[in-house]
Amino acid sequence: MPATPKEERRVVDSEGALSGQVALVTGGGRGIGRAIAEMLASRGLRVAILARSKDQLEETASSIRQSGGEVLSLSADVTEWEAVVAAINHVKANLGPVDLLVNNAGRAASVGPVWESDPQEWRKDVEVNLYGTYLCSRAVLPDMIERRAGRIINVASLVGARPDPYVSSYSSSKAAVFRFTDSLAAETKQHGVTVFAISPGVVRTAMVEHLQTSPEGKRWVPVFSELEEDDFTPVEATAELVALIARGKLDRLSGRFIHVRDDLEKLLQRTDEIVEKDLLGLRLRELEEDDVAGEDE
Give pLDDT, residue 6. 41
* Catalytic residue list: 170
Give pLDDT, residue 207. 85
Give pLDDT, residue 291. 61
Pure H helices in the chain: 31-42, 54-66, 81-94, 119-126, 132-147, 168-188, 206-213, 215-220, 235-246, 264-269, 271-277, 289-292
Phi, psi of 161 (to 5 degrees): -110, 10
Distances (CA, A) of 277 to 129, 255, 256: 29, 13, 12
Give pLDDT, residue 188. 98
- The yes/no answer on whether domain 15-226+233-284 falls in CATH 1.10.510.10 is no
Higher-pLDDT residue of 172 and 9 is: 172
- The reply to whether the predicted model has a pTM over 0.95 is no
H or E, element range at 101: strand 100-103
- pLDDT tens across 90-113, in order? 999 999 999 999 999 999 999 999
Residue 9 has pLDDT above 50, yes or no: no
